Amino acid sequence: MSTHGLTVLVVEDDDLLREALCDTLMFAGYSTEFASDGVEALALLHRQPVDLVVSDVQMAAMDGHTLLQNIKSTWPNLPVVLMTAFGCVEKAVEAMRDGAADYLIKPFEAEVLIEMVNRFATAKGATDSSDMIAEDPRAQQVVELARRVASSDATVMLSGESGTGKEVLARFIHDHSSRSEGPFVAINCAALPETMLESILFGYEKGAFTGAHQARAGKFEQAQGGTLLLDEISEMDVVLQAKLLRVLQEKEVERLGGKDTVALDVRVLATTNRDLRGEVNAGRFREDLFYRLNVFPLTLAPLRERRGDILPLVRRFIEEQNSDGPSVVLSTEAEKMLESYAWPGNIRELHNVVQRAMILLNGATLTEAEIHLEDPGSHVSIPSVDDAPDSTRESVDGSALEKDLRSHEQQIIVDALKAEHGRRKETAERLGISPRTLRYKLAKLRDEGIVLPGLYGT
């Protein structure tokens, strides 16, 4: 039984690999369906709905690219992830331009697949933002500001650490705006190389480049009458920033390889997990684009600074993942454990922890035994700042010992990266932590302005 209601269709002609993929997903709490080729997959889709398709590319009868085209013509909103061999990356890029949601390069580890599917599960759960969790006073303040700015057409810049819920808040703004009946289109600027991001963002005409077999509308055109979210805008290349600025100023877009312009009626929201003003000062982000996007800034505090949201979020995730089963309650020890953890990965990490706990659940009470944290060292007791005496408040804000430990940890990570020539997987193994935890720590180091060795094999 699925613990969160998302069904994944796995399309793979290798029997052993197909079985392994399904087992991996089911162990992670997802419902699965399977097919051995594109023809069988289409027949299944006509019989029953699924939420995500993960398909191999090289298959007899009907390959993954043809399957993608058929799915997009009949179910345009159904996300498709393609699995391809290392030597076929160019084909994967072409598939992204044709509408694939993402791709996986074989061979890949089980956690890579699960992490990707988790992203789609989170996005699916965030579609309805009408009952957004905001019980902590800091969160309530931000949501109230978001509600007020939603009624305007102002461009909003949402900043905050990775996993704090920036996309959920962006959807909240869209849902409470006059454009709520229009499309909400999101694009992750950090996930795509510059040339690919440009074609997906602005669209292209047939023959604009090798592989452009037919014209495609870009994300701006797809968002007509609605909202376009530029996720992690600080990752966009400076050259492409100039082109984006022109589109925002002129309120029109010209497809790659085209001559005609398309007038735009699109509200733009943007997110960043970096200090964008600092990026401007460092010359990595255009100042004119910064002012164009930063009309109404909103900052989401990390989960460790809005602890009043932790247990309400946990209960929401439990309810979502146990919709068909008996009610589940938290033990007092489990509540204390969850509230005292620092949550370096914020809401995204919290969701994963609850998902794992529900898989291990035995009975109607979720206890401390079912909760497995990725970074137990961050499991520290943090009292309320408002209620704490001055001496305690000082320790919450960060004692000298805490700062020394953090500095020591940072140096260990940087030294390990240098020793492994920037390779993340090997660095995580050297440090004895998971690749996911390493990614969180590297993101925090970058946010603090620490220069990291070049990363390879990521």
Mean of the per-residue pLDDT values for the chain? 82
Clarify whether residues 217 and 334 are in a common domain: no
Task: Assess if residue 160 is contained within a domain.
Answer: yes
The reported pLDDT for the residue numbered 4 is: 47
Task: Tell me if 392 is assigned to some domain.
Answer: no
pLDDT of residue 234: 93
Residue 159: per-residue pLDDT: 97
Average pLDDT score over residue span 278-293? 95
What is the span of the domain harbouring residue 424?
Answer: 398-447
Question: Of 85-99, 274-288, 325-339, which gets the smallest average pLDDT?
Answer: 85-99
Q: Domain check: are 200 and 226 in the same one?
A: yes
Tell me the longest C-alpha to C-alpha distance in the chain.
71
> Could you tell me if residue 130 is inside a domain?
no
| Final residue belonging to a domain, choices 301, 316, 333 | 301
Q: Distance between alpha carbon 398 and the CA centroid of its chain, in Å?
A: 29
Whose tokens are 């480049």? That residue is 209
> pTM of the full predicted structure?
0.62
* CATH number reported for the structural domain that contains residue 114 in this entry: 3.40.50.2300
**178-182, 208-212, 383-387, 418-422: which has the highest mean pLDDT?**
178-182
Neighbours of 364 (CB within 10 A): 11
Task: Classify the phi-psi angles of 408: left when phi > 0, otherwise alpha if psi is within -120 to 50, otherwise beta.
Answer: alpha
**pLDDT of amino acid 387:** 42
H-type helices in 37-165, by residue range? 38-47, 64-74, 89-97, 110-125, 137-150
Pair 165, 239 in one domain: yes
- Say if residue 165 is in the same domain as residue 118: no
Whether the CA torsion 190, 458, 443, 340 is positive or negative: it is: positive
Collect all residues with Cβ–Cβ distance below 8 Å to 63 and sequence separation of at least 6. Answer: 38, 57
List pLDDT tens digits, range 65-89: 899 989 988 887 788 998 877 555 5
- The pLDDT of residue 99: 76
Highest-confidence range of 91-100, 107-116, 265-274, by mean pLDDT? Answer: 265-274
Among 32-36, 106-110, 132-136, the minimum mean pLDDT is found in: 106-110
163 and 253 share one domain: yes
Classify residue 391: in a domain, yes or no: no
Q: With cut-offs at 50, 70 and 90, classify the pLDDT of residue 382.
A: very low
Q: Are 322 and 359 in contact (CB under 8 A)?
A: no
Whether 258 and 155 map to the same domain: the answer is yes
Cα distance between residue 329 and residue 349, in whole Å: 20
* Calpha distance 116→29 (Å, rounded): 14
Q: pLDDT tens for residues 341-354?
A: 999 989 988 988 89
> What is the model's pLDDT at position 239?
92
Residue 198 lies in a domain: yes
Q: Which two tokens stand for residue 219?
A: 């994300």
Q: Which parts of 322-370 fold into alpha helices (H)?
A: 332-340, 346-360
- Residue 349 sits in the same domain as residue 313: yes
Q: Read off the CATH number of the domain in which 207 is found.
A: 3.40.50.300
Q: What is the mean pLDDT of residues 151-180?
A: 93
Do residues 147 and 237 share a domain?
Answer: yes
154 and 266 part of one domain: yes
131 near 172, Cβ under 8 Å? Answer: no
For residues 169-188, one letter each, b for 16 or more C-beta atoms within 10 angstroms of the residue's C-beta and e for the rest, the string is bbbbbbbbbebeebbbbbbb
Report the C-alpha gap between 96 and 410 in whole angstroms. Answer: 36
The answer to whether the beta carbons of residues 436 and 428 sit under 8 Å apart is no
Residues 440-448: contacts with CB within 8 Å, 24+ apart? 440/162, 440/344, 440/345, 440/349, 440/375, 441/344, 441/409, 441/413, 442/413, 443/161, 443/162, 443/273, 444/161, 444/344, 445/410, 445/413, 445/414, 446/274, 447/161, 447/273, 447/274, 447/275, 448/410
**Residue 383 lies inside a defined structural domain of this protein:** no
132 within a domain of the structure (yes/no)? no
Residue with tokens 């289409």: 42
Q: Which of 124, 151, 180 is the last residue of a domain?
A: 124
Q: Are residues 118 and 163 in the same domain?
A: no
Model pLDDT, residue 435: 67
What is the percent of the chain with per-residue pLDDT over 90, rounded to a whole number? 41
Give the confidence band of 458 by pLDDT, cuts at 50, 70, 90.
Answer: very low
Asked which of 100, 124, 148 is the last residue of a domain, the reply is 124
Specify the number of domains making up the chain: 4
* Residues contacting 17, CB < 8 A, separation 6+: none
Q: Identity (one letter) of the amino acid at 3?
A: T
Q: Which of 3, 26, 9, 129 is nearest to 68 (CA)?
A: 9
Name the pLDDT band for 377 (thresholds 50, 70, 90).
Answer: low
Report angle CA 339, 441, 414 to the nearest 5 degrees: 145
Task: Assess whether 259 and 323 both reside in one domain.
Answer: no
Burial class (CB within 10 angstroms; exposed 0-12, middle 13-18, buried 19+) of 11? buried
Rounded to the nearest 10 degrees, what angle do helices 346-360 and 110-125 cross at? 110
Q: What is the model's pLDDT at position 126?
A: 47
Question: Contact, 253 vs 291, CB < 8 A?
Answer: no
How many Cβ atoms sit within 10 Å of the Cβ of residue 386? 7
- pLDDT reported for residue 74: 84
Mean pLDDT of the 147-164 span: 94
Query: What percent of the residues of the chain are helix, what percent strand, and what percent coil, each to the nearest 5?
Result: 50, 15, 35
The per-residue pLDDT for range 411-440, each reduced to its tens digit, is 778 878 888 777 777 787 777 776 666 776
pLDDT of residue 365: 93
Same domain, 116 and 156: no
